[in-house]
């Protein structure tokens, strides 16, 4: 609870918005705690000035809100969220960043995809398809077991296993570089 936060002049009004990164002082209660003070760390001005970026940022925050357990701090999840939002704020492609974030959040949700070989026979030899149903790669011999498996490009095959190792910024930079080189190859 943030008393008076609906009034624009109230110092807690900004702190009650979805996209506010700061330090908070609140009193724990039986139900909802009471927020007393908040100091801003990041303004995310670059995101707030762009409606499309704001929508992607809200989607990311919503995912964290649904998957994080209240009362169980997760520094990994916190840093992933902040790193992604800062990269978006600085101008990296919001759509690409939110897609990377979704893949990274799959592990948090307990649905980590098998990306180090075929999920049926274990073969590490590409080309691979991606089975949404099976949750991972299927090799050339096994891809017939899922009619809806998606054929992956060579770049996607190499990038997907790295998404959990690379930071969001590194992954987005890699994807965007590939996109740019594909565009210039077409010209
Ligand atoms: Zn296989």
187 pLDDT band (50/70/90 cuts)?
A: very low
pLDDT of residue 50: 96
* Same domain (yes/no): 23, 60: no
Q: What is the mean pLDDT of the chain?
A: 84
Q: 124 C-alpha to center of ligand 1: Å?
A: 8
Q: 160 C-alpha to center of ligand 1: Å?
A: 17
pLDDT of residue 49: 95
What range defines the domain where residue 97 resides? 44-110
> Which of 110, 125, 158 is at the close of a domain?
110
Q: 156 C-alpha to center of ligand 1: Å?
A: 18
Q: 128 C-alpha to center of ligand 1: Å?
A: 9
Q: 145 C-alpha to center of ligand 1: Å?
A: 10
* Same domain (yes/no): 49, 37: no
pLDDT value at 157 more than 70:
yes
pLDDT value at 165 more than 80:
no
Provide mean pLDDT across the span 139-151: 92
183 pLDDT band (50/70/90 cuts)?
A: low
Q: Is 153 within the bounds of a domain? A: no
pTM assigned to the model: 0.73
Q: 159 C-alpha to center of ligand 1: Å?
A: 19
Per-residue pLDDT tens for 12-53? 888 888 888 989 888 887 777 888 888 899 999 999 999 999
* Same domain (yes/no): 67, 34: no
55 pLDDT band (50/70/90 cuts)?
A: very high
pLDDT value at 82 more than 90:
yes
Point out the least confidently predicted range of 23-27, 86-90, 118-122. 23-27
Q: Which of 1, 109, 16, 132 is nearest to 63 (CA)?
A: 109
> Which of 110, 127, 160 is at the close of a domain?
110
Q: 106 C-alpha to center of ligand 1: Å?
A: 23
């Amino acid at each position: 609870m943030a008393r008076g936060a609906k009034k624009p002049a109230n110092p807690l009004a900004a702190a009650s918005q979805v996209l506010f990164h700061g330090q908070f002082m609140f009193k724990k209660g039986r139900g909802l705690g009471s927020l007393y003070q908040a100091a801003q760390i990041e303004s995310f001005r670059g995101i707030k000035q762009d409606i499309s970026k704001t929508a992607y940022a809200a989607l990311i925050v919503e995912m964290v809100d649904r998957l994080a357990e209240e009362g169980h701090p997760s520094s990994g999840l916190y840093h992933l969220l902040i790193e992604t939002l800062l990269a978006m704020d600085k101008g990296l492609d919001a759509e690409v960043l939110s897609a990377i974030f979704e893949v990274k959040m799959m592990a948090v949700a307990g649905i980590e995809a098998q990306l180090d070989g075929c999920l049926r026979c274990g073969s590490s030899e590409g080309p691979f398809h991606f089975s949404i149903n099976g949750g991972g790669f299927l090799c050339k011999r096994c891809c017939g077991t899922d009619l809806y498996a998606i054929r992956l490009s060579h770049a996607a095959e190499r990038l997907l296993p790295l998404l959990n190792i690379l930071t969001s910024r590194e992954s987005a930079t890699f994807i965007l570089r590939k996109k740019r080189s594909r565009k210039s190859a077409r010209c």
